[in-house]
Amino acid sequence: MIYITRKEHFNAAHRLFRADYSDEKNLEVFGKCSNPNWHGHNYELFVTVKGEPDPETGFVMNLRTLSEIMLNRVIDKLDHKNVNLEVDFMAGKLASTENLAVAIWHQLEEPVS
C-alpha cells in the first residue's frame, strides 16, 4: 500500500459567531475570532490518497489530476474569499476549521474515490 499526498494553499477570511448569541457571548465562546470585521488565515490543504500503484503507470493516482480536482473543487472556491459569505459549500455552517475540513472532504470524496 502506497500513500501519496498533495499540498495546496489558500487564503480566506471568516468570522466565528452565532446569530443567536449576544456579542458578549460570541466573544466569550469564540474570542478574537468573533470580530465583526472578520479576520483571515493562510491555510494549507493536504490531501492523501492510498492504493497500490497501477502496473502500467506506476501511479496510485495521477498527481496532476489530484491537483486539478483540489483546485477546481476547493481552492478556486475558497482562495481570497469570505468563507461565511462567498463559499457555497459552507452556506449555513459555522466557519470553524473543523466544519471547513468536513465540507472540503465532501467536495473531494467522490471525485478522488
Give per-residue pLDDT as tens, 25-65.
999 999 999 999 999 999 999 999 999 999 999 999 999 99
10: nearest Cα among 88, 104, 102, 89: 104
Domain boundaries, the chain: 2-112
**The pLDDT of residue 17:** 97
For the segment(s) 2-112, the CATH number from 3.10.20.740, 3.30.479.10, 3.10.20.340, 3.40.50.300 is 3.30.479.10
Residue 104 has pLDDT above 90, yes or no: yes
In angstroms, the CA 32 to CA 30 distance is 6
**d(C-alpha 91, C-alpha 33), whole Å:** 18
pTM listed for this prediction = 0.92
Round to whole Å and give the CA distance between 33 and 18. 12
Is the predicted pLDDT of residue 96 greater than 90, yes or no?
Answer: yes
First to last CA, the chain: 16
Share of the chain above pLDDT 70, in %: 100
How confident is the model over 54-77, as a mean pLDDT? Answer: 97
